[in-house]
Structure 1
């Protein structure tokens, strides 16, 4: 059991202020980055877009569909202010989302 402990979902970790659930903390972090992006947009669109992309990256890593949709939508809303590099990063991340969706569909259809 110990050997596979890092793969067990919803496991708790001990921190300075008690125990916390790694999955929930990551989910909230992804949401925080997208919220921070919206908050900072008027002040610095480039930094705001990078926060949104970081939220998308975290959302992909934990397969949080709700946060992925939120980040994808926000990026499209602010696309015209994105740098070429941010657009490339978005393209790569959205390809990962597409791949996750395709894999999920294969499982649902019984091909995997």
Structure 2
């Protein structure tokens, strides 16, 4: 990935915001295959990089077509800070900003 967008994704969290009874699974074809059914309030954490920081192809995934609505919140942790407009500005979370 481009370093201006944070480089390699190191961790991904998918938070499922509603139940989906038909379809809508998150499928990892190279891990089993493994399918995770969306359940409201649950989350899925996975690490799409090797210990060396390279993309781990086993974590390629896709969402199957949901028969009803599927709502998720996705959180990424990247290798580098993601600058605006995609990430937070430099003052966010900086303790020095709180002291002034």
TM-score under structure 1 length normalisation: 0.25
**Which of 1 and 2 has higher RCO (CA within 8 Å, sep 6+)?**
2
Question: Which structure's residues are more often helix, by fraction?
Answer: 1
